[in-house]
């Protein structure tokens, strides 16, 4: 599969940064980026909803050399696609491999993009995004507890044995794990020293530095009158 044009719809330091990172790792700087001002509610515009009914980022528009086009909406799927499509980047065990390494890699990639991500998202929306009368402190407490007692020990065990989440080699699963650990730290989670040591390694990668060069533009809490709050549905 040959890519002619790639366009990423992005907002700094959110899930789309995972995709920006894997793109820098695999195709360098050869892609377009359009910022979607989430706190201004631009993801709810009729034009954007026509392209992405999930009203979020990332969204990735792909044009192939033969002119075919497609749109992707899931960050985990995007990371998987580019890691598998550009084997020379060494971001994933070969897709035709039925071995334990491939199985473990996929396990951690999807653990990060589903189970781990879900807990962080529940904490975030009930602490900072939903209208105050819709927030549930018990939900925050429940997922903070689950994250601390169920997710963190698994990560600590792995990162105490290896430099990266699956082995001594960086892989695409580390892209999502890293973003999630950074996200968790914003909420006082992932405080064990192993996480800081891990971040000190992965954040030195040139592709990471490019992907998060705009991270200072991200504010954890939208303004109380931010347009996103009037449309936000969870």
pTM of the full predicted structure? 0.97
How much of the chain, in percent, has pLDDT values that exceed 70?
100
- Sign of the Cα torsion 130, 39, 195, 120 reads positive
Residue 180 contacts residue 111 (beta carbons within 8 Å): no
Please give the CATH topology (third level) of the domain spanning 100-205.
Answer: Glutathione S-transferase Yfyf (Class Pi); Chain A, domain 2 (1.20.1050)
Secondary structure (3-state) at 155? helix
Average pLDDT over residues 218-232: 91
Nearest to 194 by CA among 149, 150, 151, 158: 158
100-to-41, 77, 104, 134, 166 alpha-carbon distances in Å? 43, 21, 6, 44, 11
- H or E segment and range at residue 7: strand 3-10
List the 69-72 sheet strands across, edge first: 32-35, 3-10, 59-64, 69-72
Ranges of CATH 1.20.1050.10 domains, the chain: 100-205
- At 1 the pLDDT is 67
Ranges of CATH 3.40.30.10 domains, the chain: 3-92+213-231
The pLDDT tens digits for 146-182 are 999 999 999 999 999 999 999 999 999 999 999 999 9
Show the tokens assigned to 24: 């820098």
The pLDDT tens digits for 24-79 are 999 999 999 999 999 999 999 999 999 999 999 999 999 999 999 999 999 999 99
User: What does the alpha-carbon distance between residue 36 and residue 60 come to, in Å, rounded to a whole number?
Assistant: 12
Grade residue 214 by pLDDT with cuts at 50, 70 and 90: very high
- H or E segment and range at residue 60: strand 59-64
User: What percent helix, strand, coil does the chain show, rounded to 5?
Assistant: 60, 10, 35
Identify the CATH number of the domain defined by range 3-92+213-231.
Answer: 3.40.30.10
């Amino acid at each position: 599969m040959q890519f002619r044009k790639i366009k990423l719809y992005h907002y700094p330091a959110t899930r789309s940064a995972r995709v920006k990172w894997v793109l820098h790792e695999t195709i360098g700087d050869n892609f377009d980026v359009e910022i979607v001002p989430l706190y201004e509610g631009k993801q709810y515009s009729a034009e954007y909803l026509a392209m992405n009914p999930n009203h979020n980022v990332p969204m990735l528009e792909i044009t192939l050399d033969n002119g075919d086009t497609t749109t992707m909406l899931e960050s985990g799927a995007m990371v998987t696609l580019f890691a598998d499509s550009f084997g020379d980047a060494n971001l994933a065990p070969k897709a035709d491999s039925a071995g334990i390494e491939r199985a473990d890699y996929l396990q951690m990639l999807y653990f990060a993009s589903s189970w781990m991500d879900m807990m962080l998202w529940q904490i975030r929306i009930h602490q900072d995004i939903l209208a105050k009368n819709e927030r549930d402190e018990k939900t925050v407490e429940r997922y903070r507890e689950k994250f601390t007692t169920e997710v963190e020990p698994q990560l600590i065990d792995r990162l105490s044995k290896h430099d990266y989440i699956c082995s001594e080699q960086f892989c695409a699963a580390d892209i999502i794990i890293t973003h999630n650990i950074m996200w968790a730290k914003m909420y006082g989670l992932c405080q064990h020293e192993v996480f800081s040591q891990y971040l000190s390694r992965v954040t030195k990668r040139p592709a990471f530095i490019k992907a998060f060069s705009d991270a200072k533009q991200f504010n954890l809490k939208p303004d109380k009158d931010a347009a996103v709050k009037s449309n936000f549905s969870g």
